[in-house]
Structure 1
Amino acid sequence: MKKLLVCCFLTATLFTYAQDKATYKVFTKEGKPSDFTTMMKESAKADLTFFGELHDNSIAHWLELQVMKDLFAQRGSVTIGMEMFEADNQIIIDEYLAGLIDEKLLLSEAKVWDNYKNDYKPLIEFAKENKQRVIATNVPRRYANIVYKKGIDQLNTIAPEAKNWIATLPIIIDLTLSGYKSMIDQMGGHGAPGTADNMARSQAVKDATMAHFILKNKSFPFLHVNGSYHSQNSEGIVWYIKKADAKIKIITLQVVEQKDINQLEEANKGLADYVIAIPSDIIKTY
């Protein structure tokens, strides 16, 4: 009996300890504590939800799947757009979702990321099982590379049919936006003259193209999954969406890593409407 009591005590202690080790905490943009339920009530009211992820964060990938499931449960449908697929692969994704091709062909013919099976496959499979749309929003990387190496004007020289996979030209780019300016400042004088500006312009082409395909395929509610850089501070893709249609109701979610997640760090306040803090020592997916 004594052994049983000791065993029960240790189990209760370990359970309490495990509860104290939260895997994430939700905060408002001002840094006030919130929770997943509140965040999702607000997201369900929006037309367009952005989830800014850290590509190698395992909890971020689990959370974006939960956001997708919750939006579907609350609204009855959810279209998901993904930075991780390039626009010229849309037909391949459509064929996979329709059951015309198997996963082996999806993996070999679409330019899937190396961490697809661990991190993005659950989103695709949920969409397939529930007959929801998946939109490949990103610019084909070859065109972003042209901008980086040769300049934005070179996009005018690509074939007319190739322009179907990028935002409508000319693309307006504001390099004074904090995200692009920070990128330029971080690169400093590295590389050939103009390299830093061209890097920022190539990112802007990605943002503009992702916004273009969101707007082209809008069927609300729409969840867009992207690296946090592309939507934080309501810049990047969000800036282009608002410029095209200010009436669309947008909510932004963003994951950050912190050593201590009990309080949102000052630097992370204001990054998104809801900021999700995850312990920085969380297991990485690659």
Structure 2
Amino acid sequence: MHLRSGLAAFALAILLARPLAAQQAEPRVWDAGARAWVGVGAMADALARYDVVFVGEQHDDPATHRFEAVLLDSVGQRAGHVLLSLEMFERDVQPLLDDHAIGRVTDSVFLARSRPWPNYAGDYRPLVRAAAARRWPIVAANVPRPLASAVSRGGWAALDTLPDPHRRWYAAQRQCAPEGEYFRRFGEAMGGAPSHGGQADTAAASAMLVRFYQAQCLKDETMAESIDRARQAWPGWKVIHYNGAFHSDHRLGTVERLARRLPSARIAVVAVVPVPDVTAADPAEHAGRGDYLVFVPAPTEAAPAEASQ
């Protein structure tokens, strides 16, 4: 109880204890279902009733990461048992992540061997430490980058050239890259296949786009499978999964893949949206991205870089 009270106080301090002049920079939460602005606490109350919560982020946004730590604590206070799932770690480092969470592996060894993202110390370490302190499982959900890179170069067939243990465990057993809304959005994000140049150039660009899309889908399938396996290992535990927003926006990507595996699961999507002025945020501009839109202040060029925590 002492630890829980301390974490709750920390979260409240982040959200509520700033001077009045700074309050306009606090996150604002839009409940898409109710079509109303709500408080962080009200959103956490609702999210605690879901089986899986996806949090879609912009990886390089400090305000997003500060909010994510508060959200994990807030939902954890209400749900009790939470599985923390992260795109930012890959399946092959799961044993190392497990040992680090229980103190068997030091921080320095963990950082040297787990291939953490460059912004891990300031942005994702707080999530890992909070989960470890509560003895919550932490899931390294993503496919190892070499496997995704192999698919981006050679398509699905590239997985057949890898050793069986890699193909059977580190990548999802089921690979699927259906065309449709997700493919259309992916093509737009990648700039699509260029129309200039000869027919051969256009065909090559289109084929490259398909391979890149397959690699994207491999990540989605693997993260969804990782979440599914974690729920089987810890029945009844809530999952909070953090990933780049494209993987969960509009309930596509990883969300769609998980819903296919767990059709009866209650899944919520939170989209964190950095904006220049949270008081002027317009939910209509981001309609359909998630069940909740969380507007946070976007960084400015003049803002100093955050120090590692």
TM-score (norm 1): 0.88
Which residue of structure 1 lines up, in the alignment, with residue 141 of structure 2?
A: 137
- 1:140-151 counterparts in 2 under 5 A? 140-151=144-155
What is the alpha-carbon distance in structure 1 between the residues aligned to residue 96 and residue 79 of structure 2?
A: 27
Which residue type is aligned with residue 87 of structure 1? R
Question: Residues 15 and 97 (structure 1 numbering): CA distance in 2 closer, same or farther, change over 3 Å?
Answer: closer
Larger Rg: 1
Q: Contact 1:47/1:249 (CA < 8 Å) preserved in 2?
A: yes
Aligned Cα root-mean-square deviation (Å): 2.0
Residue in structure 2 matched with residue 203 of structure 1 by the alignment:
216
Cross-structure match for 2:294: 276
- For 1:280, give the aligned amino acid: A
- Whether the aligned pair in 1 keeps the contact of 2:64 and 2:274 (CA below 8 Å) is no
User: How many residues are paired up?
Assistant: 270
SS in 1 for 2:48: helix
TM-score normalised by L of structure 2:
0.82
Quote the Cα distance in structure 2 between the aligned partners of 1:243 and 1:258: 33
Unaligned stretches of 5+ in structure 2?
1-17, 195-200
Report the counterpart of residue 197 of structure 2 in structure 1: none
Distance 1:195 1:133, change over 3 A: same
2:162 and 2:306 map into 1 onto residues whose CA distance is 36
2:6 maps to: none
2:248 is the alignment partner of 1:231: yes
* Displacement after TM superposition at 1:265 (Å): 4.2
Q: Which runs of 4+ in 1 moved over 4 A?
A: 282-286
The answer to whether the 8 Å contact 1:57/1:285 transfers is: no
- Residue 71 (structure 1) shift: 2.1
Contact 1:187/1:196, CA 8 A, preserved across alignment: no
Q: CA deviation at 1:156?
A: 2.2
User: Is there any run of 5+ residues in structure 1 with no aligned partner, and where?
Assistant: 1-13
**Structure 1 vs Structure 2: percent identity of aligned residues?**
25
Separation in structure 1 between the aligned mates of residue 306 and residue 227 of structure 2, nearest angstrom: 27
One-letter identity of the residue aligned with 1:203: Q
**Alpha-carbon distance between aligned partners in 2 of 1:177 and 1:63, rounded to the nearest angstrom:** 29
One-letter amino acid matched to 1:52: G
- Post-superposition offset of 1:70: 1.6
CA distance in 2, matches of 1:279, 1:67: 16
Q: Give per-residue Cα distances to partners, 1:104-151, cap 9 Å, x unaligned.
A: 110001111011100011111112211111000000000110111111
Inter-partner Cα distance in structure 1 for 2:128 and 2:152: 30
Measured in 2, the distance between the counterparts of 1:153 and 1:140 equals 17
Counterpart position of 1:47: 51
2:78 alignment partner, one of 67, 74, 78: 74
